[in-house]
Amino acid sequence: MSNLKDRRWRRKGLDRKIETPSWGELAFGKKLFNLRHMLLAVFTSGFISFAMLYQLITYGHWEAKGAKVDGAVGYGVAFFLLVIFIALLIATIKDWRRG
């Protein structure tokens, strides 16, 4: 929040630091709620990498603005994104266990 908005809230007697937890924190717990951005990144990267691999295996290529990408380049990009997904997953699990 900006400093101007903080000042306006203080003038009105409102404290922006709420003591009661939000509905997300109540539903998922404090640990998972704090990891919500990492979990979104894990699910997004996993969906994209598996969708690319599925399209490569099914059709033999994927298209990027009309250009067909196949063979070693297509599999290289797909597996690179899969490695990023696995690294994000491992980092999320480590952070969840530690936190």
DSSP-assigned letters across all residues of the chain? --HHHHHHHHHTT--SS-SSPPHHHHHH-HHHHHTHHHHHHHHHHHHHHHHHHHHHHHHSEEEETTEEEEHHHHHHHHHHHHHHHHHHHHHHHHHHHH-
Cβ contacts of 75 within 8 Å, gap of 6 or more:
56
Distance of alpha carbon 71 from alpha carbon 42, whole angstroms: 26
43 and 90 in one domain? yes
User: So what's the pLDDT on residue 14?
Assistant: 60
50 and 74 in one domain? yes
60 and 12 in one domain? no
pLDDT digits (tens, 9 = 90+) for 31-73: 888 888 999 999 999 999 999 999 999 998 888 788 888 888 9
Q: What is the mean pLDDT of the segment spanning 86-93?
A: 94
46 and 62 in one domain? yes
Split into its structural domains, the chain has a count of 2
User: So what's the pLDDT on residue 92?
Assistant: 92
43 and 14 in one domain? no
Query: How would you label 13-44 residue by residue, b for 16+ Cβ within 10 Å and e otherwise?
Result: eeeeeeeeeeeeeeeeeeeebebeebbebbee
Q: Which domain holds residue 24?
A: 1-28
Q: Which two tokens stand for residue 63?
A: 């298209």
Answer yes or no: is pLDDT of 1 > 60: no
User: So what's the pLDDT on residue 20?
Assistant: 73
21 and 6 in one domain? yes
